[in-house]
Structure 1
Amino acid sequence: MPEAEVVYSDVKFARGKKGANEAVTPSTDSTYSEIKISKTQPSTAELSDSPQQAVVSKGSKVTSERVVLVVLSVLLAAALIALCFTTFDKSRTNQELENLKLKKTKCESNLTETLSKIKSCSTVQPTCPGSTVVDDPCYKCEEGWEQDGGKCYYFSISKSSWKQSRDECRAKEGDLVKIDSREEQTFLERRLRDVMTRDEDKFWIGLTDSAVEGRWVWVDGSLLDQSLKFWSGNEPDNWKGRNGEHPDGEDCARMGAKGGADDLKCWFDAFCSKPQRSICEKSEVKGQFKKCDFTALYSRWFYVSEEQHFAMAVSSGRVIVDDEQQTFLERRMRNIMNEDDKFWIRLTDSAVEGRYLWVDGSPLCKRLDF
């Protein structure tokens, strides 16, 4: 730092005079020679730098505070934005909930209206318009009996001896079955495949040689036709038991093969006292039914579901009982069916597989098997 010099010139200092009472001394003047006093002063650069440093220090402090303030402002803005979005989402969710409630109310209202319309439909089957009683062209079987080839068949569930089984068939106004043709044997053999629970679960038929050994006779007294014998393998073998406990041998015939029989041969002789199921047989009977104007009937009582294109014909008796009704329904179906649509009729074999019955309990007439 440069030094500044101060120069003082010769300076004379005169002493003052004392009072009168004081002794007078010769005055003496003091002279000071030139004096230099060096004084250190800050440089111009330093003088100029110091304020700048102060300003920089102050500015640095101010800038940090601003950064903190900006960050806090940004965080506050983000929080406000998040709060706004949350509020908006909640509002939208509440609105959607209200919309769903409105839809639910509307659906319930529509359902109530639809149900009221359905309930308004009468569940009572209407009577046939203009009906007349005519002879039924079809032969029928009683409930529980199966129809085939002009005969009615009953396949028992319980087991009993051959004689007791025959008594039970007679109590039903029939008798143990007599097989008169290959077609009848075919029907029975195939039907037993379905009703048998296991291979030993065979059925008594009305054939026996209990009167004369080897002379097989049907229950109606007729001899077995030698061209209509369906004995299996080496049957009949008249087995008398392992220890001969059945001296009379096997004198009664039973039939059935759960897995099917070669050439329909499924007859076996057995001890007549052995409990077995049985096949009863009797003739068909004719009946009567009410004939209607079915064009008017089905025009009034035919219902088609709009949603499923699914229909059911409803009548006071059986749905299809003659050619006229079948023709009417078949033509009607052409107009309302899609390619894969089918329609329920009141015919089922849910009780016994293969034995189709109308809902009034009457069997399907083979002449009207469409």
Structure 2
Amino acid sequence: MKRRTLLISGAGTAFAAALGSPLRAQEPIKVGFVYVGPIGDGGWTYQHNEGRLALEEHFGDQVETIYQESVPEGPDAERVLTQMALQGADIIFTTSFGYMEATNNVAAQFPDVKFEHATGYMRNTPNVATYDARFYEGRAVIGTIAGHMTQTNKIGYIGSFPIPEVIQGINSSFLHARKVNPDVEMVVVWAYTWIDPAKEADAAKALLEQGVDVILQHTDSTAPQAAAAEAGNVYTFGQASDMAAFKPTPRIASIIDNWAPYYIERIQALMDGTWESTHTWGGIGDGEVEIGEITDAVPAEVKAEAEQMIADIASGAYHPFTGPINKQDGTPWLAEGEVATDEQLVSMDFYVEGMTGEIPN
């Protein structure tokens, strides 16, 4: 069942004709990508680059791709975006939340260039689109596995930045771990980075010192996997990419971001002259969020439970945020059987009931 949410603004519709004229077939479309980290061998940027490579494979000489990695979120991003636009890019994908203002600022200066911002919400001009993935769906699955696998009943979570996307992931993981193991506690350490192996290793070690024996992460290096492997008897999950080098343990499953279908769809729209300013939010049912191989370290019955949840989320039969759910202070958030709206999810700034600690400002 197709579950990607597609919202087209009135401005995007009004300007469709102006922005949508097909490009001449003989001219390759120049596609730019701006990455917040190094491509490396796994993680967030690695998966976006896999999407770029899929574009090249799918379209062949109809496209030319360019990219720049390790671009800080701030003034440097505006400089890089401006350079790409001046180099003749027809469309530029900016692949980190912190590029939001830079994307919109540069888009206003280059109305003939299309810009697509990952995980953002701001579309100030009709040549800007935004896209995201329902990572919380995948985190419900790995939270379920984590709840079964912990022996200490302490699960650790390495947070990047306290934005709604990350808070959704923490809450989804905790809710589903506790559903299968009511004694579970979740300890969160904030790394304040998307990727920094040294900081991530320190965060993992801090969690291990608190008795955690399962680690989840919303940061993108394999440093937590390495720390868990060194400690022994600790389970981890690949983040954004499979991180298969650490199979069968400590990495026992993974949440994988598959951007290729979206990138191919959007470039095809540009070729067809149907590109519009949209916001999309795809999930497991769209193939944008995947669960990597669940290894034999996980008992067969737990694997079967996780696979059933994947199927139910994909079909729309189950939503990870279905009530009753209370906020951390005990006040009701979702009533029995009530499903969270997208508006509630994208503004999530609280922990759910049972979580300890505070979300930093």
TM-score higher than 0.5:
no
Structure 2-normalised TM-score? Answer: 0.19
Larger Rg: 1
What is the TM-score when the length of structure 1 is the normalising length?
0.19
Structure scoring higher RCO (CA < 8 A, sep ≥ 6) equals: 2
